[in-house]
Amino acid sequence: MIVALLFALAVVSFVAVTGLSRLYRAQQESLGNRWFTRGVADLEQQRFAQAVSEFRTALLYSRDNYSYQRNLAEALIGLKRTDEAYAYLINLWEREPENGLVNRELARIAAQKGDTEQALRYYYNSIYATWPGDQEAERRKTRLELIEFLLKIGAKTQAQSELIALAANLGNDPSQHAGAGDLFLQAQDYQHALAEYRLSLKSEHHNPAVLAGAGLAAFELGRYDLAQRYIQEAVAANPNDAESAARLKTTELVLRLDPFRRQLSSAQRNRVVIEAFAAAGERVNSCSAGAGSTDAVDQTKPPGSLAEAWTKMRPKINERSLQRDPDLVETAMDMVFRIERQTASVCGAPTDTDTALLLISKLHEGN
């Protein structure tokens, strides 16, 4: 009976201790969650110092809690205490190397430190890692960060590849396509930029920023008819867009001064050639006069022989001669293009007309 009584007492004591232990752990967990919730609220409001204190307090009740440590690291990053944050994050990464959030934070720290190789490694890990919640949204956000990082370090080819992958997974949100178009512009991939802006404009027909972006992309592609249409709409939607207004002026000059446009009659073409030839003459002669001599070639001014060649050809460039000899159109424009190319970098700022003629020369280069 004594043994039975002692055994019963032992069982009761064990149950009591177990219950108290569970109650203690529940209380600890409750306190940890309470401080963690406060920390999350302060972190969202960017009150980083308070968040750090609250996450540290939460960790007193649950030292190995993964979420507590990760959020503490994020708050430390907000305070620019990256070394402390890195210590927590690398420990978390060793526990879960496939965690997308941790990889992204490590990528950000590496990017801040200028460690390109490590930043790229963690960004790629993050894109293809596991994510809680909306995986596609988080992966898209991470890829956007990676693209911005690649553009910042001048890796435009890599940025273009990532942008193509990003664009392939965009939905119907016009703002997402517009944002992709902006990034394609920065990466100097004007073809894809124009395509993304067009997708955005299907839903938002009169968005001035998107119209201006589409106009710029078409302008850089040499598609001046299309550029004119988009830029005109952009300026109409936002008259304060001085940059688009200036680009529209250049575009209209290009369209007016290009004698090789198919819709021009021979008489119109001849008049355009005469105007372009005269403008090129003003450019080369003013440049040669600034050089102080037309007899020698130096490193800062175009050769005097170019001005002489223009002067020698000048009597032939009239409507009658151009009508009788259609080949003279190409000869005259070849002279115009040579002048504009050679004076572009050595004769000071070009006029609007000279800028347009230089763009036309690039448009027909090799033809």
Kindly report, residue by residue over 52-79, the tens digit of the pLDDT: 898 889 888 888 888 888 888 989 988 8
Write down the pLDDT at residue 295.
40
The residue ranges of every structural domain in the chain are: 29-244, 266-363
Please give the share of the chain, as a percent, with pLDDT higher than 70.
Answer: 90
d(Cα 170, Cα 173) in Å, to the nearest integer? 8
DSSP 150-176: HHHTT-HHHHHHHHHHHHTT--S-HHH
pTM, two decimal places: 0.80
Please give the pLDDT value at position 24.
55
pLDDT mean over 160-170: 92
pLDDT of 297 over the 50 cut? no
303: left (phi over 0), alpha (psi -120 to 50) or beta: beta
Tell me the CB-side half-sphere exposure of residue 4, using CA atoms within 13 A.
Answer: 1
Local confidence band at 296 (pLDDT 50, 70, 90 cut-offs):
very low
pLDDT at 19: 58
Mean pLDDT of 157-181: 92
Which pLDDT score is estimated for 298? 45
CATH class of 29-244: mainly alpha
Is the model's pLDDT at 185 over the cut of 90? Answer: yes
